[in-house]
A and B are shown apart, each in its own frame.
Chain A
């Protein structure tokens, strides 16, 4: 959550409640919901680490507002996050281990594992396809692209299951 908050604060200094609203309007359908408590805990931790600083804005007839602003260190932290590329392929090693386990133990046929996994992936692809019909997603290409990415990964997973079948199932 921290890096997203830093990115939102890099846009402009803001107070906790505004931050929550921005988060909800941008990520409500793709990230878990947050409560105000989580926001303030995260902000307090970031302040402790010197990534943000708090200033109090006095308001007439209303309680004072606490506005959070990114420090130089916070900017640097954000920069480092952007500079790191994500490494390594996404390998479904858990499934591979199961498959090896099935072959070694003889408790269950690898073909059964592959079949069940294929059904599950097809179901998930179906779910994602249904989601793409949601008006909210049709109107928001930057949310839609996330689902399209997940769908492409699932297609790769399904193709990989075909290869597993060739390698593990005799007479396939």
Chain B
């Protein structure tokens, strides 16, 4: 158990609605190591968002177990889970979910203050994140004054402010144009390179491909998995990949 930062065992989730049952997850075994970046990829309705919600303690499974950082969370009370979410998990959603009447800086700092971090410490953390994510000049703005890409950077900073054990991202580029999406993916990789454990769920192969490992889901099950290799010689690779004839 201790070798994995996050692990699920035979996880199932059944939604009951007017007498009908939807089997959203049908026995998921997934393990993520510390420092790893994993993508869960599948079409809409495959259960990947449900999985993310269970991993982040936003919802409880029908059967099975979820372990984060050595603690079993599926048996916790809602109050215990709320504490866990604040300290151990950072979320990034497609819809940004920023607070509209707070400044960028306050949006990012709020979770740190709620978690009981001192004002001075949370301020330092805020400054570092603003700088890392290239939004230092936006600190005083309100979210409505930002582009989609900037909003998602703020959401990313907010997710990271409490230095969570794991960052969970649900279609992080779903609402972005391709240039902003590109920037956000670059920042996610940069964040991972700094040691952050990340799990992304997405239908988009381009988003999934930034991970080290891609797990494919369909109809509530894991159907396949591929480990992506890091190649060293990027210069040669570029020439090779593009295979330009030089006109």
Could you say which of B24-32, B64-72, B97-105, B208-216 contacts chain A? B208-216
Contact of B247 among A4, A130, A150, A155 (CB under 8 A): A4
**Contact across chains for A121 and B205 when beta carbons are under 8 A apart:** yes
- List B residues 211-247 near A (Cβ within 8 Å): 211, 214, 224, 226, 228-231, 234-235, 237-239, 241-242, 244, 246-247
Contact of A3 among B185, B224, B230, B247 (CB under 8 A): B247
Rounded to whole angstroms, the CA-CA distance of A147 and B214 in the bound complex is 21
**Contact across chains for B237 and A148 when beta carbons are under 8 A apart:** no
Knowing A32-B246, A148-B178, A148-B182 are in contact, say whether A129-B238 is a contact too (CB < 8 A). no
Residues of chain B at interface, number, CB under 8 A: 30
Work out how many contacts link A and B, with CB atoms closer than 8 A.
78
Minimum CB–CB distance for A136 against chain B, Å: 9
- List A residues 80-134 near B (Cβ within 8 Å): 81, 115, 118-119, 121-134
Contacts of B206 in A (CB 8 A): 125, 129, 151, 154-155
**Contact across chains for B210 and A129 when beta carbons are under 8 A apart:** yes
**Contact across chains for A125 and B239 when beta carbons are under 8 A apart:** no
Residue A20 interfacial (CB < 8 Å): no
Chain A positions within 8 Å of B, measured between CB atoms, are 1-4, 29-32, 81, 115, 118-119, 121-134, 146-148, 150-152, 154-155, 158
Chain B positions within 8 Å of A, measured between CB atoms, are 178, 182, 185-186, 189-190, 204-206, 208-211, 214, 224, 226, 228-231, 234-235, 237-239, 241-242, 244, 246-247
